[in-house]
Amino acid sequence: MAVTVRPAVAADIVVIMSFVRALADYEKLLHEVEATEADLAGHLFCETPRLFCDIAEQDGAPVGFAIWFYNYSTFRGRHGIYLEDLFVVPEARGLGAGKALLRALAQRCEAQGLARLEWAVLNWNAPAIAFYDGLGAGAQTEWTVRRLTDQALVSLARS
């Protein structure tokens, strides 16, 4: 049973939101999900989207997704892809859906002359880390991700 990857369409929004919630639950972050179907649909399926989603299917049934956007490297002088979310339903893990989603993004990078494909992984997520290591994805240990949100973001904006 081959896994196929296709771009998401507006009719996929319920499935996409279910994958977002399932990923958040797996990452123990379900309490942080504020996005709604309308929020995601408004960004994914607008006239000029800046957010994109690919769906992995097995026998025509959605089994996973990748949500991504373009970033830019001033050092490389080219765009790249930042993978925001990658999720495969537990019962489909090991069937190649995750690799198929990443392969599709790597193929997009190659076809468009993009410099890199990058993402973040939680330090405790050993299965994901092992999967990424198996693909040859190197950890960027010299970088620490920093983030401003909520009141800290507002405080800086108003200072």
* pTM for the full predicted model: 0.94
Q: Rounded CA gap, 40 and 43, in Å?
A: 5
72 as an active site residue: the answer is no
Angle at 84 between CA 8 and CA 78, to 5 degrees: 95
| H helix runs in the chain, sequence order | 13-26, 37-44, 97-112, 126-135, 150-158
Reading the chain (159 residues) residue by residue, the pLDDT tens digits are 689 999 999 999 999 999 999 999 999 999 999 999 999 999 999 999 999 999 999 999 999 999 999 999 999 999 999 999 999 999 999 999 999 999 999 999 999 999 999 999 999 999 999 999 999 999 999 988 899 999 999 999 999
Number of domains in the chain: 1
Residue 121 has which token pair?
């992984």
Q: Please check whether residue 85 is in contact with residue 48, taking contact to mean a CB–CB distance below 8 angstroms.
A: no
pLDDT in tens, 75-110: 999 999 999 999 999 999 999 999 999 999 999 999
Residue 133 has which token pair?
């290591």
Q: CA distances (Å), 72 to each of 5, 117, 118, in order?
A: 25, 11, 11
> Domain holding 60: CATH number?
3.40.630.30
Of the candidates 121, 24, 20, 108, which has an alpha carbon nearest to the alpha carbon of residue 70?
A: 108
Catalytic residue from among 70, 72, 82, 132? 132
Residues spanned by the domain of 69: 3-158
